[in-house]
Structures are given as C-alpha cells and as structure tokens.
Amino acid sequence: MATTTIQVTKQTRDHLAQLAEERGLSIGQLVDALAVAEPTAAQRAEQVAAARAHAREVIGVHLSDEEFASLDVLGNLRRIAAEKVLALPGKDAA
C-alpha cells in the first residue's frame, strides 16, 4: 500500500496524537482504526444489501426495499412477524 502525505493543522495533529496516546496507538494506527470504523457510501450500500439478503434468505422475512428504507426496520420486522403469527391456523387477534 502506498503511503500518502497529508497536510493537517497543528491543532488537528495534536488532537489526534492525544487520542492515539489515550488508546495506546500511534497516530497512523488511530487513523487506520477510524477509517475502518467509518464505511464509505459504497460500503454502507453493500452492508444494507447484505442485511436485506440475510433477512430475506436466512430469516425468511421478505421485506420490500421501501420497508428496509424505513427508519424503523425493527418495528417493521415485529409488525410483519406479528401478522404472520396471527395468520397461522388457530390464531386469533384476541
């Protein structure tokens, strides 16, 4: 992997140095950890696609892309699961 020199302010460098020291890391290790912890838009899209595939294929819950886009995915999963349970033979809404 090629090394690239990046210019940062002294204040930013000092702040990163302090954060790194508190974690027992070098500044380079800290920056690497931050980069891993912050996925790119493409990586987030891949994670969402993988989560959708997992829910659809492994769990057996088939949600539309619109339901996944909802801010309350967990609530949608609970609602759909409840609807499926209530639809089972011998189950009442009461």
pLDDT (tens digit, 0 to 9) for every residue of the chain, 94 residues total? 667 787 889 999 999 999 999 999 999 999 999 888 888 999 988 888 888 888 788 777 777 777 776 657 677 788 888 888 888 877 555 5
The CA–CA distances, whole Å, from 43 to 38, 48, 49, 71, 81 equal 9, 9, 10, 19, 29
Q: Is the pTM here over 0.75, yes or no?
A: no
